[in-house]
Amino acid sequence: MTKQYQILEHRADLKIRVFGKTKEEVFLNALFGMQDCLRPELKKPEEKTEREIKIKSPDLSVILVDFLSEILYLSQVNKEIYNDVKFLKFLDTEIEAQLFGKKVERFGEDIKAVTYHQLDVHQREDNIWEATILFDI
Amino acid sequence: MISKFDFKKISDYLWEIPKTFRPDMRVPARAYVSERMLEESFKDKSLEQLVNVATLPGIQKYALAMPDMHEGYSSCIGGVAAIRTSDGIISPGMQGYDVNCGMKLLISEYTEKEIRPYLEKLATVIQKEVPSGLGRGRQIKLSIEQIDKILEGGAQRIVEQGYGEKEDIENCEAQGRLPWADASAVSLQAKNRGRDQVGTLGSGNHFLELQKVEEIFDERVAEVFGLFKDQFVIMIHCGSRGLGHQVCTDYLREFIPLMEKKYKIRVPDREFACVPFNSPEGQRALAASACAANYAWANRQMIAYFVRKAWKSVLGEKASPLLALYDVAHNIIKKEKYIIDGKEIEVAVHRKGATRAFPPGHPEIPEKYRLVGQPVLIPGSMGTASYVLVGTKDGEAAFYSTAHGAGRTMSRHAATRKISGKEVVESLEAKGIIVKCYSFRGIAEEAPTAYKNIDEVIEVVHQAKLSKKVVKLIPLAVIKGE
């Protein structure tokens, strides 16, 4: 899977547009986009880590934000990033997943939160999924 | 799209979008800006976001924007909404993620000239003493019990433990503690995020600045504030860090379904995520927000402690101490009372990127300042001037609120493309300003060219009488967060 997102213009914060062939891929690329912005410096020698998450939310857009918020929390508290996600359950209102990642020495940037502002997740006519997310930094 | 034709000019520094502009507006929207700044503000979505604020249930008189306004999420940054508590809402999103982001100013008895020989060393030691909290520097991990005590005790808890003076509490908004805080309203996740961040600066636009008093506009008030020409002072800008961010994240997540399904409140942007102020959920959000605000005051107090430690280690034990002039929030929800249509009404003032500015005689300001008014601390962008102002009686028209900074005009991304961090550092050093930072990229994002001119912003709040200029401060050394 490739990292696929672009940074959009926003006065104060960080807005990204993410693409994916499937909903799962769009969620994963959103995660990679978010993590790149944290500018992590990996621990050396490498230390692996594994987590599990379970999320319930009202709809697909909201669950994308809640998914990212949950991972942002885990990432900041445990000082780690995740390079792979295995979805055990993937519905518009419920996600269960295993996260596989690496420990981080430090982050070069802080993301305060994932916002619901102008949030958009949709499938384009060419069947590609696209999401727009604003992070407060 | 909003254009200048939609505005009614109230004065040279106040412009109004009438209630008729959009059917969902409950009150008019007012922006405190000069004509030139108004024209600038059409370049982003700040005015549309201000109109959105005017639709919030229970909003009184006007949705307000300060001259440093710029596009944010939900409300524009620089937004103020006074919402009637009896039938209105509480909106964690309208307060923002960095609960009680604010300013603290420490003043010395020395002139710049006296400190100059120690300046470089002082900046170096302060940078070392005050960690950013992103993994570099000192890391102290508090227990959940200790965090709970900070959430309910605020800066007072920190001072009781020996990390400050009685005067630090007196000279702080709300004496550094909102009593309606209830630690049980804060999630374990939020507390966890706060465990190793007490006394940390953060990243983004958060900074420490060593400054001098460049110009005095009001001798009488400056004297009451303990300020004099060429005085050496230290300014601290930061907030509630990960704990506050998580509190806001948690309540937004909880409130979106509640707002839409249980309370059936319609707002133009889900990010407002509001519930009735007097509902059990609303009261819990208020108690949690107070916890985050208390954490931020504790954080700034702890940073002040580290700064003082550096001060003593560089200048010696006998150096006269750094005193706290004041500490004030610019992202907060507070209950205040105003006379509206002849009746006293309690409102929840949501200030998002706006500084409270109480007038002379107000009971909630320290006794030593009560005759002249509340000190207002407004930082400029990195390397430019900052100001100390004072609250005025006329400020009532804006629910005693004023600007909070310069306000961005360029995205962080655009700033890094336009100018390199190295160039920014070189231009600051050419002006004789010492810069301490961890990365050039972070510096580029905060380049002065990415911000409005602070002098112009201050002129508007001064002319509009939201607060009056007392002194202008200029930077000698900048210590940036990560």
The pLDDT tens digits of the residues spanning B225-271 come to: 999 999 999 999 999 999 999 999 999 999 999 999 999 999 999 99
- Going by pLDDT thresholds of 50, 70 and 90, the confidence category of residue B112 is very high
Supply the pLDDT for residue B137.
63
Taking only residues 40 to 69 of chain B, the set having a beta carbon closer than 8 angstroms to any beta carbon of chain A reads: 44, 46
The pLDDT of residue B410 is: 85
Average pLDDT over residues B28-46: 95
Rounded CA-CA distance B78/A96 in Å is 39
Q: Does B72 touch chain A (CB under 8 A)?
A: yes
The larger pLDDT score, comparing residue B23 to residue B450, is at: B23
Q: Pick from A51, A49, A45: which is nearest to A105 by CA?
A: A45
Asked if pLDDT for residue B445 goes beyond 90, the answer is no
Contact partners, residue B49, CB within 8 Å, separation at least 6: B71, B72, B74, B75, B76, B79, B269
- Of B70, B206, B404, B462, which one is the catalytic site residue? B404
B74 pLDDT above the threshold of 70: yes
> Which chain B residues contact residue A107 at CB under 8 A?
134-135, 482
- Tens digit of each residue's pLDDT (9 = 90 or more) over B90-102: 999 999 999 999 9
Beta-carbon contacts of residue B190 (< 8 Å; ≥ 6 apart): B242, B243, B246, B247, B250, B288, B292
User: Are B273 and A66 a contacting pair at CB < 8 A?
Assistant: no
- Evaluate whether A129 touches A19 at the Cβ level (below 8 Å): yes
Can you give the pLDDT at residue B250?
97
| Tens digits of residue pLDDT in A43-55 | 999 999 999 999 9
Structure tokens belonging to residue B130? 């005050």
* Mean pLDDT for the stretch of residues B104-119: 98
What per-residue confidence (pLDDT) applies to A67? 98
Average pLDDT over residues B188-200: 95
Check if B70 contacts A (Cβ < 8 Å): yes
Query: What's the whole-number mean pLDDT along residues B359-385?
Result: 96
For residue range A30-43, list pLDDT tens digits in order.
999 999 999 999 99
Q: Would the CB atoms of A113 and B245 count as touching at under 8 Å?
A: yes
Q: Which two tokens stand for residue B165?
A: 């003076």
Per-residue model confidence (pLDDT) at position A3: 56
H/E stretch holding B312 reads helix B280-315
Flag whether residue B374 sits within 8 Å of chain A, measured between CB atoms.
no
Q: What is the pLDDT of residue A46?
A: 94
Of B334, B408, B329, B278, whose CA–CA distance to B155 is shortest? B329
Backbone φ/ψ region at B52: left (φ over 0), alpha (ψ -120 to 50), beta: alpha
B216: Cβ contacts below 8 Å, ≥ 6 apart = B222, B227, B228, B229, B470, B471
In terms of phi and psi (left: phi > 0; alpha: psi -120 to 50; beta: otherwise), the region of B200 is: beta
Closest alpha carbon within chain B to A6: B413
Task: Give the closest of B73, B242, B256 to A58, CB-based.
Answer: B256
Task: Tell me the shortest Cα–Cα distance from A77 to chain B, in angstroms.
Answer: 6
Give the nearest chain B residue to A69 (CA atoms).
B249
**Residue A118: per-residue pLDDT:** 87
Q: Classify burial at B161, counting beta carbons within 10 Å of its beta carbon; exposed 0-12, middle 13-18, buried 19 or more.
A: middle
Confidence of residue B419 (pLDDT cuts 50, 70, 90): confident
Q: What average pLDDT does this structure show over B423-436? A: 92
Least confident residue range of B58-67, B304-313, B339-348, B408-417: B408-417
Q: What residue spans of B110-184 are helical by DSSP H? A: 112-115, 119-129, 144-160, 166-170
Looking at residues A94-107, what average pLDDT do you find? 96
* Chain B residue numbers touching A68 (CB-CB < 8 A): none
pLDDT tens sequence across B140-158? 899 999 999 999 999 999 9
CA distance A7 to chain B (A): 8
Mean pLDDT score across all residues of chain B: 95
Which tokens is A41 given? 């410096």
Q: Is B404 a catalytic residue?
A: yes
Residues of A in contact with B299 (CB under 8 A): none
Q: What stretch of H or E contains A65? A: helix A60-78
Interface A-B: count of C-beta contacts within 8 A: 112
Q: How far is CA B404 from the centre of its chain?
A: 6
With contact defined as beta carbons under 8 Å apart, do B398 and B64 qualify? yes
Decide if B204 touches A, using CB distance below 8 A: yes
The CA-atom distances, in angstroms, between B106 and each of B212, B216, B234, B337 are 11, 17, 5, 30
Query: Residue A1 pLDDT > 70, yes or no?
Result: no
Task: Find the range with the poorest average confidence among A121-130, B26-35, B197-206, B296-305.
Answer: B197-206
B183 has pLDDT over 90: yes
Task: Check CB contact under 8 Å for B204 and A110.
Answer: yes
Q: Could you tell me the pLDDT band of residue B390, with boundaries at 50, 70 and 90?
A: very high
